A and B are shown apart, each in its own frame.
Chain A
Amino acid sequence: MSQPRFLVTASPHLKGPATTPAIMWNVVGSLVPIVVAALFFFGLGALLVIISATAGALITERLFGQKGSLLDGSAMITGLLLGLTLPPGFPLWMAFVGGFFGIAFGKLLFGGLGQNIFNPALLGRAFLQAAFPVAITTWPAAGGGFWDVTAENLALPLMGAGETDTVTGATPLGLFKFEGVGTDTVDMFIGSIGGSLGETSAVIITLCGGYLALRNFLNWRIPAGIFITVAVLSGLLHLLDATRYPDPAFMLFSGGLMLGAWFMATDLVTSPVTKVGNWIFAAGVGVLIVIIRLWGGLPEGVMYAILIMNALVPFINRSTQPQVFGTRVQEAES
């Protein structure tokens, strides 16, 4: 019997269905409804901001990343997420620079996919906040015309902000922090409020994130942990002094908390690998959000909360190593 040539590979010879690109592109897919919501609430300008940020991320990845790394979908996620954290009237060139910075300094400098310590999208946003503090806190009032593309959007690089031609509004967090005004929770839940592009509709974000959690593409412990921590902590403070501290529903549905908890903190690369570690990480993010929002100088604290906890991930991983099978017994004996 003649013998064909056989393949010789190491076991296991079967492979589970999950692949890294599948996870990444599913995240991209679940961000699409949030992008559409941004388009619906803020008009065409919003879409252009997201496209600019994404273009910055993709082009940087293509130019400086490893060959073919665009296909794994991770740069796309960074770009989309960064775009969703920006205000609708944000100058497009700045969004582009943010995308570049996030990928180049947040990811590729560390060695590309899987090597970075900080969430690249948030690092890009942190850079923009430091470089362009005015532009990034200029919030047009919701409800402008769909086709409106503001002059700020089209501002030329480094020429200073053009004359403001839109009515600026304030975000619920800004209103609360600086003017002591609350916002209707239902409005925040649905999304018809001022704010960054993807930070407004809690419903859509929860549905999209929930889908990823069901498919095990993100770790549900992280959003759950953040929600519980923020709700409990702000609930206690609210009970102490309802005038100074907002109620938990406001805390949960305002600002970038939903997007941050579902999509940013859950970034696989920059969150812990252990289950216990994920709970600790989530609790840390929750506590920091409450502290920054209520006692810090900024109205919003999600970004820094996640970045700070990102930095602690290696430490969290090290200190939450699983108990190896059969080692507990030995310790009990000795």
Chain B
Amino acid sequence: MAARRRTFRHGVHPPELKELTEGEKIRRMPFPDEVILPLSQHTGKPAIPIVQQGDRVERGDKIARADGFISSPIHASASGTVAAIELWPHPDGTYKPAIRIAVDRYSAQVPRPRIVPRWEGLSPEEIVQAVQDAGVVGLGGAAFPTHVKLSPPEDARIETILINGCECEPYLTTDHHIMAEYPERVYLGIRIMMQALRVKRAMIGVEKNKPDAIEALRATRPGDLNVTVHPVTVKYPQGAEKMLIKALLGREVPSGKLPMNVGVVVQNVGSCAAIAEVFDTGMPLIERIVTVTGLGVKRPANLIVPVGTRVGELIEVCGGLTEDAHEIVFGGPMMGAPQASFDVPILKGVTGVVVLSKAETKPKESYPCIRCGHCLDACPVFLNPQLLGQQALAGHYQDMEEHHIWDCMLCGCCSYVCPSNIPLSQLFQVARTAIRRLGSKAAAA
């Protein structure tokens, strides 16, 4: 293939800000006093509790079962006693049912012995079932149940698995360290997924700003596997599925369709490592690697965190907040969700905790749109945010649907470049919620 530049068109170049945790090796944090496990940690139906208040649970025990196929079970991330099943602050800003486990202070946190089936002998269906039973969801942020992606419909012809190691969000170094420190696990996960999908080819895309990760992946690449490592251009949002497919394969996922419509399944490197863990040790997804960073944290770190740890406790492990701390964001600063409380738990899909400083969050004055067109030059899906913004403000939601508002990824590039500081992606988010409530054909589809 010609030495074509591996990227997509448009996008933005925010400061990378990864220095804070780039050199921090992954460490394990001490077990918290309490873990809070919301039943809804994934895209799809919430899990259904199978334990009751007062029940004793061991680390790794299933405590809530999946409700149907597009759902995922929840497992206890620490040994202890179920203290309550009640509403608790959820990272999405609402209260949602959660199982609270008071962690046993004297427990060694050793999971029950379990039988680990050898994956080599498993059929694709058995692998998919095992992945669902282990509660594995996409660890790149969206938390879409991984087993669903591994069981495409009969008519879809998947020929390539793309492994997403871009990590284009500023500040975050989670995937970076997974690739640099656990490349073998990433490859084992890829191997198992290739078997589940009966796919012959896998490609890993890594942004060029992680040379040590690229080096580690290349050094440990198994010779018998058709998997290649591709450095891609450092640009936001390179890690968006559709952008990565465009960069590595030159294909455009049709509007409103999924990657499998172009023969591709995209998985995050963290999900690969999690699947490897399932078939290596038999442990379900009960912990994940989280970058805790930002100018508002005293000792930024890349930590192995039990799912359900309160963010306040996590920040305490990292030395606490600085005087300057002003806003806590789950995920990266471009798409991440702000958190109002220390009590919010880390979910399976939380890639990072970024504590922004006062200077970074200083409110900026808004001006009228001057039609400079910078947002059009930034939008990676070639929308017209200028026009959509006007329509959103006017409440012309139907026009917005005609102008492809459902193709918007809410990546925030338009808001980032807008010189008049118009909160475009926020307007789009609000508009989409309104359209959903009004009930639209596109939203229902």
Give the interface of A toward B (CB within 8 A): 1, 3-4, 6-16, 18-23, 72, 74, 112-115, 216, 219, 268-269, 271-275, 278, 317, 321-330, 333
> What chain A residues lie within 8 Å of B360 (beta carbons)?
13-14
* CB-contacts of B1-22 with A (<8 A): 12, 14-15
14 contacts between A and B (CB under 8 A): A1-B320, A11-B334, A12-B335, A14-B170, A15-B421, A72-B367, A113-B370, A268-B370, A278-B373, A321-B384, A324-B382, A326-B255, A328-B252, A330-B254
Q: A7-B327, A114-B368, A317-B387 are in contact. List 20 more A-B contacts (CB 8 A).
A: A6-B339, A8-B327, A8-B338, A8-B340, A11-B338, A12-B416, A14-B14, A14-B360, A15-B415, A19-B420, A19-B421, A20-B370, A113-B368, A268-B370, A321-B387, A322-B376, A324-B382, A324-B407, A325-B252, A327-B255
Q: How far is the CA of A10 from the CA of B327 in the complex (A)?
A: 11
Closest A residue to B17 by beta carbon equals A14
0/1 string, B361-382, CB within 8 A of A gives 1: 1001001111111101101111
Least distance between A322 CB and chain B CB atoms (Å):
4
Stretch of B37-45, B125-133, B423-431 contacting A (4+ beta carbons < 8 Å): B423-431
B284 at the interface (CB under 8 A from A): no
A74→B328 CA distance, assembly (Å): 37
B337-A11 in contact (CB<8A): yes
Q: Are A269 and B370 in contact (CB under 8 A)?
A: yes
In whole angstroms, how far apart are the Cα atoms of A74 and B367 in the complex? 12
With A268-B370, A324-B381 already in contact, the answer to whether A16 and B252 are too (CB < 8 A) is: no
- Does B140 sit at the interface, judged by CB under 8 A? no
Docked Cα-Cα span, A333 to B256, in Å, equals: 14
Q: Return the chain B residue nearest A216 by Cβ.
A: B374
Task: Determine if A114 and B370 form an interchain contact, defined as CB atoms under 8 angstroms apart.
Answer: yes
B312 within 8 A of A: yes
In contact, B425 and A10 (Cβ under 8 angstroms): yes
Query: From DSSP, what is the main secondary structure of chain B's interface residues?
Result: loop
- Beta-carbon contact of B335 and A274 below 8 Å: no
Near A by CB (< 8 A), chain B positions 297-350 give 312-313, 316, 320-321, 325-329, 333-342
B254 partner, pick from A9, A112, A317, A326, beta carbons under 8 A = A326
In the complex, the answer to whether B327 meets A9 with C-beta atoms within 8 Å is: yes
Interface residue? B356 (CB, 8 A): yes
Give B314 Cβ to nearest chain A Cβ, in Å: 11
CB of B309, distance to nearest CB on chain A (Å): 13
Closest residue of chain B to A112 (Cβ to Cβ) is B368
Selected from A3, A11, A113, A330, the residue in CB contact (under 8 A) with B312 is: A3
A321 CB contacts on chain B under 8 angstroms: 384, 387, 403
Interface digits, B77-92 against A, CB 8 Å rule (1 contact, 0 not)?
A: 0000000000000000
Point out the residues of chain A lying under 8 angstroms from B71, CB to CB: none
- Say yes or no for B412: interface residue by CB 8 A criterion: yes
Question: Closest A-chain residue to B170, C-beta based?
Answer: A14
- B residues engaging A (CB < 8 A)? 12, 14-15, 93, 170, 242, 252-257, 312-313, 316, 320-321, 325-329, 333-342, 354, 356, 360-361, 364, 367-374, 376-377, 379-384, 386-387, 403-404, 407, 410, 412, 415-421, 423, 425-426, 429
Q: Shortest Cβ distance from A21 into chain B, in angstroms?
A: 7
User: Is the pair B419, A273 in contact by a Cβ cutoff of 8 Å?
Assistant: no
Bound Cα distance from A274 to B403, whole angstroms:
15
* Given known contacts A11-B337, A16-B14, A324-B407, A273 and B386 CB-to-CB distance under 8 angstroms: yes
- Nearest CB to that of A327 among chain B residues? B255
Measured between beta carbons, the chain B residues less than 8 angstroms from A275 are: 373, 376-377
CA distance A23 to B339 in the complex (A): 34
Tell me whether B416 and A20 are in contact (CB under 8 A): no
Contact of B416 among A9, A16, A268 (CB under 8 A): A16
Tell me which residues across on chain B come within 8 A of A9, comparing CB atoms: 327, 338, 361
Distance, CA A12 to CA B418, complexed state (A): 12
B419 x A14 contact (CB < 8 A): no
Whole-angstrom distance from the CB of B425 to the nearest CB of chain A?
A: 7
- Beta-carbon contact of B376 and A12 below 8 Å: no
A19: B residues at CB distance < 8 A: 364, 367, 419-421
For B384, give its contact among A268, A322, A333 (CB under 8 Å): A322
Complex Cα–Cα for A324 and B386 (A): 14
Of chain B, the residue at the smallest CB distance from A24 is B370
CB distance from B409 to the nearest CB of A (A): 9
A18-B368 contact, Cβ under 8 Å, with A3-B312, A8-B327, A322-B384: no
Nearest CB in chain B: distance from A265 CB, A: 14
Residue among A112, A321, A325, A326 with most chain B CB within 10 A: A325
B94 smallest CB distance to A (angstroms):
13
Please tell me if the beta carbons of A7 and B254 are within 8 angstroms of each other in the complex. no
Q: Which of B256, B342, B383, B425 contacts A3 (CB 8 A)?
A: B342
* A13 adjacent to B255 (CB under 8 Å): no
Task: Give the docked Cα–Cα distance between A333 and B257 (Å).
Answer: 13
Least Cβ distance of B391 to chain A in Å? 13
Nearest-CB distance from B136 to chain A (Å)? 26
Known: A10-B425, A273-B376. A324 touches B364 (CB 8 A): no
Q: How far is the CB of B338 from chain A (nearest CB, A)?
A: 4
B384 and A273 within 8 A (CB): yes
A36 to chain B minimum Cβ distance, whole angstroms, is 27
A148 to B128, CA, bound (A): 89
A13 contacts B382, CB within 8 Å? no
In contact, A20 and B312 (Cβ under 8 angstroms): no
Measured in the bound complex, the distance between the Cα atoms of B416 and A19 in whole Å is 11
Asked whether B370 lies within 8 Å of A11 as measured between CB atoms, the reply is no
Given known A19-B364, A329-B254, contact A324–B404 (CB-CB < 8 A): yes
- The distance in angstroms between the C-alpha atoms of A333 and B312, with both chains bound, is 52
> In the complex, are the beta carbons of A14 and B15 less than 8 A apart?
yes
B329, A326: Cβ atoms under 8 Å?
Answer: no
User: CA–CA, A323 to B403, complex, Å?
Assistant: 11
B367 touches A20 (CB 8 A): yes
Q: Do A268 and B415 touch (CB < 8 A)?
A: no
Closest to A10 in B: B426
Residues of chain A lying within 8 A (CB to CB) of residue B367: 19-21, 72, 113-114
Contact status of A324 and B15, CB under 8 A, knowing A10-B429, A115-B368, A268-B371? no
Distance (Å) between the CB of B169 and the closest chain A CB?
Answer: 10
**CB-defined contacts of A278 to chain B, threshold 8 Å:** 373
**Cβ of A306 to closest chain B Cβ, rounded Å:** 16
Q: Is the CB of B425 within 8 A of A20?
A: no
Q: A4-B325, A326-B242, A326-B407 are in contact. Are A12 and B333 (CB under 8 A)?
A: yes
Q: Which residues of A contact B254 (CB under 8 A)?
A: 326-327, 329-330, 333
Inter-chain contacts of A269 with B (CB < 8 A): 370-371
In the bound complex, what is the Cα–Cα distance between A273 and B403 (angstroms)?
A: 15
CA of A12 to CA of B382 in the docked complex: distance in angstroms?
A: 19
A11 contacts B333, CB within 8 Å? yes
Q: How far is A324 from B26 in the complex, measured between Cα atoms in Å?
A: 40
Q: Are B312 and A13 closer than 8 Å at their CB atoms? A: no
* Complex CA distance for A18 and B334, rounded to whole angstroms: 17
The CB with the most chain B CB atoms within 10 A, among A14, A20, A278, is that of A14
A12 touches B334 (CB 8 A): yes
Task: Report the nearest B residue to A271, measured CB to CB.
Answer: B371
